[in-house]
Each structure stands twice: as C-alpha cells, then as structure tokens.
Amino acid sequence: MAETQGPRLRTIIARNHRWDLIIGTIGLLATTVGVLVLMLLFVDLVIDGWQRLTPDFFLNFPSRRPEEAGILSAWVGSALVMVVTAFTAVPLGVAAAIYLEEYAPKNWITELIEINVTNLAAVPSIIYGLLALGLFVYILGLGHSILTAGLTLGLMILPIVIVATREALRAIPVAIREAAYALGATRWQVVSDHLVPYASGGIYTGVIIGLSRAIGETAPVITIGALTFIAFLPPIPFTGDPPAGPFDWLFSPFTVLPIQMFNWLSRPQTAFHVNAAATGIVIIVATLLMNGIAIWLRSRIRSKLKW
C-alpha cells in the first residue's frame, strides 16, 4: 500500500508547495505594485515639471502667460491655512482625546462621542466643504477666507489627531498614573505633568500626518469657493496704508497649492499642464516629507520607549 500511496502523496505535496510558491510570488508582486505606482507617479511628475522648478516659480504670482506664472500666492496661502488648521485641530483634538481616554465615564454620551469620531473619520472630505460653505461662509459670514479654509481643514483632520493622541495615551502604562495618584496628584496634574509629555511623540506624529492630509486636500477648499485668480498676498500685520491689523490676514482671499494645480490642470494648454506638474512636485514632496518625518518619529518612539 505504501508503494502505491507514496508517489501520489509526494505529487500532492509537491503540488501544494507549488501553489504556495505561486501565491507567495503573486502576493509579493501585488505588494510591489504599490511601490511601483508611487515611483511611477513621482517620475511622471518630475519628467513633466522639473524644468519649471526655478526660484522664479516660487516667487512669481500666477499669470496668463504660463512661462511667467508662479506659485507665490499658493504656497504662502497653503502655509497660512496650515497655521489656522493646526491651531484648530491640535487643541481641540488633544483635549477631546484626553477626555475620552482619561476622564470619560462609561455611559451613553461617551458612546455617542466615540461613534461620532469614528464616523467623522470616514465622512468624504467634500462634505466638510459643504458644511463650511453653509456654516462658515454664509451663516457665520467668514467669507472665502483663510480662516474658513483653516477651520474646515482643522475639523477634517480632527479625527486623525484624536485617534493618534488616544493611541499614544493608551500606550502609557497604568503604573505611571497610579504612581502619580499615590503622591496625591489630581487628575489634571497627572495628565498635564505626566501623560501629555510622555505622549507628545505620538501626538506630534498624528498632527504631522493630519497636516500632511490637509495640505494636499483640494475638494473642501474648492467647495468654499476659493478657486479664484489670486495675484496678491494676504496683508502683513502693521504694514501698508492704512496699516493692516494683526489678524487681517485671516480674512483675506487666498489660494492654496492643490487649487493652483487644479486650476492649471483644467486648462487646455499643455504649457499650463507643465506648471501643474511642477506644483504637483512641490505638493508631493511636502506631503511625503511630512509623512516620512511622522513614520520616522513613530519608529524612533517605538524603539526608544521601553516602559
């Protein structure tokens, strides 16, 4: 019996191993598709747009003549919007996360908040644009301003900051909290003196990832009506005549990098497409850099922190 079964068994085993190899190879190929697409994207952009990446490109305003057009108003706008976004999302997100992780009692209100945070993370970004258009632009009368855009993107990345902060807080051992409580510290003293400092690495990571999402986000900013020709910079505080107030820039019309790119991309002339590619390089370098920093920061925290 063994003589007849042996070879059959061996062919079955060989076949199974072959399948294993085939599926493993397909899996590896599928995974490298991700890497390949990323490289293809980048190479395509660089081939199309690198010749426009001169200092003038960063110092010129958009123009009707593609070879003179630049992204000065766009990158300044992006930077200022990011400032507002960070000032919205960081305090709100970190505070919300601290509440949910350290304070919240187990009841239906907490449950409701948790469900909402999860769902907000999955709401399409353009819906935040509609919210901003109805609420910030018209009901609150903030207009098509830097403030509106910053608040919108801030709300959009709020779930990212909350989730990252909660994960960082959860990673801190209970013993740290117990030690502080044993010395008579109040809950807020425990949070502000121990938990937040220890969690700061994880919080930074979450904030950077959130901002990298916000800087490339186009749809909500278009929806609030920012797609206009902007050939000026927001007022610098205390300059000009009459002198601008310290917060006048918040209410200034603006444009951001992805919108400038979309603007150029929607034109039929290929010369503008080259500008779009160059802007794309700037955006992708900014986001990849931010993501890279976040990934590096996270791995460093993981390897350095041993509780």
CA Rg value for the chain: 26
Minimum distance from residue 238 beta carbon to another protein (Å): 32
130 binds another protein (CB under 8 A): yes
Q: Which is nearer to another protein, 87 or 188 (CB)?
A: 188
Q: Which stretch binds another protein (CB under 8 A): 77-85, 131-139, 171-179, 244-252?
A: 131-139
The token duo for 294 is 């976040």
Q: Is 184 left (phi over 0), alpha (psi -120 to 50) or beta?
A: left
Site for another protein in 249-268 (CB under 8 A): 258, 261-262, 265-266
Per-residue contact flags (x/-) with another protein for residues 85 to 124, judged by CB under 8 A: ------xx--xx-xxx--xx-------xx--xxxxx-xxx
Query: Counting every residue, how long is the chain?
Result: 307
The token duo for 177 is 């909290």
CA distance 229 to 74: 10
Q: 77: closest CA among 244, 282, 266, 239?
A: 282
46 binds another protein (CB under 8 A): no
Per-residue contact flags (x/-) with another protein for residues 211 to 240, judged by CB under 8 A: -xx-xxxxx--xxxx-x-------------
CA distance 4 to 161: 64
273 binds another protein (CB under 8 A): yes
Minimum distance from residue 50 beta carbon to another protein (Å): 14
Minimum distance from residue 38 beta carbon to another protein (Å): 5
Which of 62, 66, 70, 159 lies at the binding interface for another protein (CB under 8 A)?
159
164 binds another protein (CB under 8 A): no
Q: Which stretch binds another protein (CB under 8 A): 57-65, 67-75, 185-193, 236-244?
A: 185-193
CA distance 150 to 29: 40
Q: Which is nearer to another protein, 215 or 249 (CB)?
A: 215
Which residues, other chains included, contact 96 with Cβ-Cβ below 8 Å and sequence gap of 6+? 113, 117, 158, 162
CA distance 124 to 220: 9
